[in-house]
Amino acid sequence: MGKYIFGVDLGGTTVKMGLFDPEGNVSEKWEIPTRKENNGEKILPDIADAIKAKMNEKQIADSEVIGVGIGVPGPVDGKGVIYKAPNLGWGEFSIKETFSKLLGGMNVEAGNDANVAALGEMWRGGGKGFNSLVMVTLGTGVGGGIILGGQILTGSTGAAGEIGHIHIVDGEHEKCGCGKTGCLEQYASATGVVRLAKRRLEKDDEPSVLRNEEISAKTVFDAVKEGDKVAIEIAEQFGDYLGKGLAGVASAINPEAFVIGGGVSKAGEILLDYIVKNYKKYVFHGSENVKFTLAELGNDAGIYGAAKLVLG
Ligand SMILES: [Zn+2]
């Protein structure tokens, strides 16, 4: 009977790994670099070697391993097929089959990293106790992961949950990373908050502490907490855009909760206040009381979710 699960979070520069028991307790955490040369051909063999080395070190037999879960930065469908991950140099192939072969036939499950992080937060983090939730990661970009009835919603080509690219603003002149304009990510990510702040400060000469410091999502929300009027306007604008985007998502799928994570979420409860207030303005009444919580697992959400992927 198996008693160990490996959870793997494959990122662009490092691979995070964790050794879990079926209850979700992690006993070991470690990292290896992501070697992307030659179209990323070394990445999966490196991870397989690291897992085998850990099994050796801890004297774990193959039969004691329930499986290995992996989250990857690209669209993955429900069968463990990745469609394309340009930042790793990968084209379309079955991660589930390829990785399992490298691990001597072990059970492997694969998912998109944002979706897998959502699963992790539901299992052991800010989404505990919910069965249907949306995780929103406000970091460099805006990531999304949707869990419905305990299962990841992958969509037909693994592209479900791309909340950051919901169109929010007409007439935007700057382009989003995806090539379109007016995406939620352009206003609600860490760089998005800075964009909103700079535009507000350029509008007039109203005094603000933000005029004397380097602008970041952190300095903006710190200023909000101090009662800075201009910063509060920026937070309102941020909350309006994000609230509108999430209201659209909720109106479509009616989740139990939104779990908000990523660097911007370090602002804490005050961030939720601005999101929820605006969300209620836009959402269909049937989804008005959806809960909002803060993510709790930070950078570990991916390894937790990957392990949970194995348990189903
Ligand atoms: Zn976009």
- pLDDT tens digits along 242-291: 999 999 999 999 999 999 999 999 999 999 999 999 999 999 999 999 99
- d(Cα 268, Cα 294) in Å, to the nearest integer? 7
- d(Cα 251, Cα 266) in Å, to the nearest integer? 27
Q: Return the closest-CA partner of residue 6 out of 57, 59, 50.
A: 50
Tell me what pLDDT residue 301 has: 96
CATH of segment(s) 128-296: 3.30.420.40
Reported as a single tens digit per residue, the pLDDT across 205-226 is: 999 999 999 999 999 999 999 9
Ligand 1 mean position to 17 CA, how many Å? 30
Phi/psi for 5 (5° steps) reads -135, 140
Ligand 1 mean position to 252 CA, how many Å? 20
- d(Cα 119, Cα 136) in Å, to the nearest integer? 12
Question: Ion ligand 1 — residues with CB under 5 Å?
Answer: 165, 176, 178, 180, 183
Ligand 1 mean position to 13 CA, how many Å? 23
Tell me what pLDDT residue 2 has: 83
- pLDDT interval class at 158 (50, 70, 90): confident
Which residues touch 265 (CB under 8 Å, ≥6 apart)?
Answer: 138, 271, 294, 295
105 touches 97 (CB < 8 A): no
In the chain, CATH 3.30.420.40 sits at 4-120+300-311, 128-296
**What are the structure tokens assigned to 287, written together?**
């989804």
pLDDT at position 1 over 80: no
pLDDT at position 141 over 70: yes
Residue type, 9: D
Q: Mean pLDDT score of the chain, rounded to an integer?
A: 96
Ligand 1 mean position to 185 CA, how many Å? 6
Is 3.30.420.40 the CATH number for 4-120+300-311? yes
**What are the structure tokens assigned to 123, written together?**
């299992």
pLDDT at position 146 over 70: yes
Tell me what pLDDT residue 257 has: 98
- Global pTM exceeds 0.85: yes
